[in-house]
Structure 1
Amino acid sequence: MTSLLPAPRRTPTRDDRTDTAHRRPLVLVAALAGLAAACSTLVVCLAGGVVGWFLTDAGAHGAPRDGLRVGALGWLMAHGSGVHVDGTAVNAMPLALTLLAALLIWRLGLRLGDSVSGHGPDADAIADGMRDWTVPSATFFFTLGYAVVAGVTHHLAATPATSPSLPRTLAWTLLVCGVVGGTAIAVGSGRAAIWTSFLPLSLRAAAAAAWGTLVWYAAVSAVVLCVALVVDWDGAVNVMSQLHTSPGAATLLIGLCVLVAPNATLFSGSYLLGPGFAVGTHTVVAPTSVVLGPLPMFPLLAALPDPGPTPGWTVALLGLPPLVAAVATYRTLGRYPTTRWDEAALRGAGAGLVCAVGFAVLAAVSGGAVGPGRMADVGPFVFQVLLHGIATFGIGGLVGGLAAALRTRSF
């Protein structure tokens, strides 16, 4: 039976079919898990809004409910709603909050999958082709519970002046809960182990290598961002001094930088791939060219290179993406040994292609409008990033796959 498959934090037994801990009411448990996943991050945002309200001017203006509304709007923005500030659209997502929400969805999805793993046909019946609606049903009610919280939050926090988009919030909720939550439920319930066992080994190897490459490249991009910020640390300090912020306001500003640090990391990754990104209309930040206009006073922007001709050594940074892809692919495919050159090449190149598409999708959600006028165009050049990623990660993955095959043939 399905519940006999390995699942997180439990030891399978022959009596799992009658184990009530793994046959809990699917509709109720899934809906409650969705509610809990949404409310967990919402409470964090509400608390952050109140703290930010107090840090701004020690509570001299407004009331705590204003901080709660700002926190709720921040939660909605993390789900793609966007807001209007003084009539100006701001639709860039604070990806740190989005990642936190996705992490909690994943963790609760795993627990939900374990709780309903005893429902539906057993593993043999599924292997024989019997339809199993356990994961789709649990995902639907999980998403429904999450969407209810999103709808209520929008109703209570939205004002005519802010105008967050409910359709965009619900669309993002469906996407994240369907992809992240549904995958977690499938893994936690053991269904994923059954379904993936029917996939070709090369496909599983390429998928694992693509994921490894994406994770390692994100880490390298974050390191490059931190180095750039440290190199021009005086610029960040100068921005803070020119703003004449109080300690509380400075803390709040640093917190805002943390919220968009994942966005900046994806900007950094787009820079390393070559096309770069824009910080305002008709601007470009790339290893071969830097064209900037007037910038807002924001400390994280100190990591930007100086406008004008770039130093010759910055072109060498273009070698990092294929190097990361080659190393990550080599390490990952070592767990899927093969001595066939064609199969190794297909795995490596396929991993690079999937990684390029995945990074381009992330780059697409990292940008958006952050202010009036020219600041309505901020973010990576997604299509160019995709094309460069296909070539760069593809070559790196190909080299890594062939190197892994060479190591296997040597033993």
Structure 2
Amino acid sequence: MTDRHSGGGRGTQRDTVVVSRRRAPEAPPPRARGVQRDTVAVTTRRPPRLRGVFQAGFVTCCWNGLVVFLPILVAVITAWWIAGRPGGVGDVVRAAGAVWIVGHGVPVTVAGLPVGLAPLLLVAVVFWRLTKAGANTVRAIAGRSFPAVRAATISVAVNYTAITTIAALAVAHTPFDVPVWRVAVNAALMSIVAGSLGALGASGGGTALWNSMPPWLSRGMHTGLLVTLMLLSAGALLSGIALASRSTAVTATLAAYPEGVLAVGLLTLVYLPTAAVWGTSYLLGPGFAIGVDTSVRIIGVELGPMPVFPLFAAIPDGPLGDAGTLLYGLPILIASVYGVRLGLRGHDLRAGAAFFAVLVTTVTSTVLIAAVTALASGPLGNVRMAEVGPDPLLTAAIVAAVTFVFGLIGCFSVRLFGGGRRDVLDEAGR
């Protein structure tokens, strides 16, 4: 009996051991769930972003390209219908494509006549839509980091360059001649600059980058942008005054197009920002040309026969005289005022940093003015009308000299003569 009980006890012990061995495999499920969570995290976060960035870039580039192209197509179809529908539908679509390509700063030859004077309103719309493409692409991949901004920018640049190159190949048939390589280069440059700006703004990286800059750099760039906007605004005001003061001649040019007055009026509106840049160059001194060996400046005007067009009718036919030379003081005043503003906001900077802030202001305004004047210049035909618009290098050089000299005077005048009221000046600068 004792052995049996002992055996029973040992049997019970063995049963306990057996039971514990059978229950032991029930412990691993938490590990399996842990492994499953790791696997799901890896497969759901990385691959969709890598696969989706180029898809998102393609979709946004196509959409934003259509947003610009379709209104151009409607305007060209309207003009074609009013003119009696010459040619076929394919010619109309290629003409709309040629106008869209000119909006990228690329000259297009039409029936042997080069047209390279870009309407800046169209260029601005193309640039704006490319910033939207960059912003929408980085939002589509939920990007919040600089690698995401870089990926979105590359996607927009590659897709948009491919789209515009294909469009250029489709347009490049008689009577249109398009330099396809230049279309690709301009589209790539515009999409990189605009796409990166849009992606930085949408991801929040632009604010972080701006806040991480040294104060002299950010303040100098901001002031340079303001100087550029004020110079262009002054040019736009001068152009508007010229159109208003010569309204009779402008209206007479419209009467020369009894059946195409709508198209000519729309074309005039599209070229108004281009005329504003001409007005800015006129204020700065170099002026602009309307044909080879011509010049329109405050101190003198040399013109020949010009096409009948409303903007050309508003061009002054002679110098403004001694009183008109006072307009030369307007760019100097703008540079001085913003130099003072920079000095007010930069009292916390050392003299060396303030100097570099003025230098950054000069570089920023010079580069921007050079870019817009280059876009506002180009041919409108062969031989005589092969040169239209301002000289970008000369205009940029004058902007650099005026902004640096008078910006420096304004900035350091505040620092030298405003020391006794430093707290007040700092408060005013903020």
The one-character-per-residue Cα deviations of 1:183-218 (angstroms, maximum 9, x if unpaired) are 221222222333334321110110011111111221
User: 1:409 aligns to what?
Assistant: 422
Q: Is the 8 A contact 1:186 1:192 kept in 2?
A: yes
SS at match of 2:153: helix
The one-character-per-residue Cα deviations of 1:137-170 (angstroms, maximum 9, x if unpaired) are 2111112221232123223322133111111111
Q: Is the 8 A contact 1:221 1:268 kept in 2?
A: yes
User: 2:11 aligns to what?
Assistant: none
Q: Tell me, in whole angstroms, the C-alpha distance in 2 between the residues paired with 1:327 and 1:366.
A: 27
The one-character-per-residue Cα deviations of 1:229-282 (angstroms, maximum 9, x if unpaired) are 1111111122223x2x22x51111011112222221111111111111111111
2:385 equivalent to 1:370: no
Q: Is the 8 A contact 1:356 1:386 kept in 2?
A: yes
Deviates more, 1:384-393 or 1:183-192: 183-192
Displacement, 1:19? 10
User: 1:12 aligns to what?
Assistant: none
1:10-25 pair list within 5 angstroms: 25=52
2:75 equivalent to 1:48: yes
User: 2:244 aligns to what?
Assistant: 230
The one-character-per-residue Cα deviations of 1:17-62 (angstroms, maximum 9, x if unpaired) are x999x969322212222222222211121112112212334x4x33
Q: Tell me, in whole angstroms, the C-alpha distance in 1 between the residues paired with 2:314 and 2:343.
A: 35
User: 1:5 aligns to what?
Assistant: none
Deviates more, 1:209-218 or 1:144-153: 144-153
Going from structure 1 to structure 2, the CA distance change for 1:334 and 1:258 (only over 3 Å counts) comes to: farther
2:113 equivalent to 1:102: no
2:93 equivalent to 1:68: yes
1:299-314 pair list within 5 angstroms: 299-307=310-318, 309-314=319-324
SS at match of 1:367: coil
User: 1:77 aligns to what?
Assistant: 102
2:181 equivalent to 1:167: yes
User: 2:391 aligns to what?
Assistant: 381
Displacement, 1:110? 2.3
From 136, 139, 149, the counterpart of 2:153: 139
Gaps of 5+ in 1: 1-17, 121-131
2:46 equivalent to 1:33: no
Going from structure 1 to structure 2, the CA distance change for 1:191 and 1:403 (only over 3 Å counts) comes to: same
Q: Is the 8 A contact 2:284 2:398 kept in 1?
A: yes
SS at match of 2:177: coil
Q: Is the 8 A contact 1:353 1:393 kept in 2?
A: no
Q: Tell me, in whole angstroms, the C-alpha distance in 1 between the residues paired with 2:389 and 2:346.
A: 37
Going from structure 1 to structure 2, the CA distance change for 1:355 and 1:295 (only over 3 Å counts) comes to: same
- Match for 2:387: what amino acid? D
User: 1:290 aligns to what?
Assistant: 301
Displacement, 1:335? 5.6
- Match for 1:29: what amino acid? A
- Match for 2:373: what amino acid? A
| Pairs aligned (count) | 376
Q: Tell me, in whole angstroms, the C-alpha distance in 2 between the residues paired with 1:165 and 1:153.
A: 12
The one-character-per-residue Cα deviations of 1:75-105 (angstroms, maximum 9, x if unpaired) are 0111233222231222221221111111111
Q: Tell me, in whole angstroms, the C-alpha distance in 1 between the residues paired with 2:398 and 2:326.
A: 15
Q: Is the 8 A contact 1:81 1:166 kept in 2?
A: no
Q: Tell me, in whole angstroms, the C-alpha distance in 1 between the residues paired with 2:82 and 2:230.
A: 36
Displacement, 1:117? 4.3
Going from structure 1 to structure 2, the CA distance change for 1:29 and 1:207 (only over 3 Å counts) comes to: same
Higher-RCO chain (CA-CA 8 Å, sequence separation at least 6): 1
Q: Tell me, in whole angstroms, the C-alpha distance in 1 between the residues paired with 2:169 and 2:363.
A: 41
Going from structure 1 to structure 2, the CA distance change for 1:81 and 1:339 (only over 3 Å counts) comes to: closer
Q: State the TM-score, normalizing by the size of structure 2.
A: 0.80
**Structure number with larger C-alpha Rg:** 2
By percentage of residues, which structure has more helix? 2
Q: Tell me, in whole angstroms, the C-alpha distance in 2 between the residues paired with 1:260 and 1:216.
A: 19
From 266, 274, 288, the counterpart of 1:263: 274
Going from structure 1 to structure 2, the CA distance change for 1:52 and 1:332 (only over 3 Å counts) comes to: farther
Q: Is the 8 A contact 2:143 2:149 kept in 1?
A: no
From 338, 342, 348, the counterpart of 1:338: 348
Going from structure 1 to structure 2, the CA distance change for 1:135 and 1:372 (only over 3 Å counts) comes to: same
Q: Tell me, in whole angstroms, the C-alpha distance in 1 between the residues paired with 2:363 and 2:356.
A: 10
Q: Is the 8 A contact 1:278 1:284 kept in 2?
A: yes
User: 2:140 aligns to what?
Assistant: 115
Q: Is the 8 A contact 1:116 1:189 kept in 2?
A: no
Q: Tell me, in whole angstroms, the C-alpha distance in 2 between the residues paired with 1:149 and 1:333.
A: 47
Q: Is the 8 A contact 1:56 1:252 kept in 2?
A: no
Q: State the TM-score, normalizing by the size of structure 1.
A: 0.83
Q: Is the 8 A contact 1:23 1:119 kept in 2?
A: no
- Match for 2:284: what amino acid? L
Displacement, 1:64? 4.2
- Match for 1:146: what amino acid? Y
- Match for 1:322: what amino acid? I
Q: Tell me, in whole angstroms, the C-alpha distance in 2 between the residues paired with 1:174 and 1:81.
A: 12
- Match for 1:134: what amino acid? A
Q: Is the 8 A contact 2:111 2:174 kept in 1?
A: no
Q: Is the 8 A contact 2:58 2:159 kept in 1?
A: yes
